[in-house]
Amino acid sequence: MPPLESTQFTAWLLQALCAAFLAILFLQSGADKVVDWKGNLGWLTGHFAKSPLRGVVPLMLGVITLMELASGALSAVGLVSLFVSGSATWAFWGALASALSLVGLFFGQRMAKDYAGAGALVPYFLLSLVALYVTRMS
């Protein structure tokens, strides 16, 4: 962690806050899918009932669950790494995995014609893009 008075502190703080937010977001979401697999599968089966993806809902749920857990874990490791060594490399990979997860979620929402749900993902996606940018700041 750079000294509070240094100009590098602001970049470090942005990196840490983005990593913390993405870790919380995706670890909670992924864990919820694991703990309540049956409930999530039931809801998603109904959600995609009239879409071309209706036959692959269990596969999609498995893939997005793994993507979310990976995004959260990489972001959490990135946060710890920022505190321990000051390196944002793991936080970068967490942000990238987060952005890819959100693209997958966005695709699903659009295919289900849930335009409001798709729109609700935009702020999270923008945050992941900011996280990608700030984790590359020196």
62 in any annotated domain:
yes
What SS3 class is residue 12? helix
> In a structure prediction context, what are the per-residue pLDDT tens digits for the chain, which is 138 residues long?
888 888 889 999 999 999 999 999 999 999 999 999 999 999 999 999 999 999 999 999 999 999 999 999 999 999 999 999 999 999 999 999 999 999 999 999 999 999 999 999 999 999 999 999 999 985
The secondary structure element, H or E, covering residue 92 is helix 89-111
The total number of structural domains in the chain stands at 1
CB under 8 A, 24+ apart: contacts of 117-124:
124/25, 124/98
Q: What is the pLDDT of residue 138?
A: 59
13 in any annotated domain:
no
Contact (CB, 8 A) for 101 and 26? yes
5 in any annotated domain:
no
92 in any annotated domain:
yes
3 in any annotated domain:
no
76 in any annotated domain:
yes
78 in any annotated domain:
yes
Q: Which residues constitute the domain of residue 69?
A: 22-134
Sort 116 into a burial class: Cβ within 10 Å, 0-12 / 13-18 / 19+: exposed
11 in any annotated domain:
no
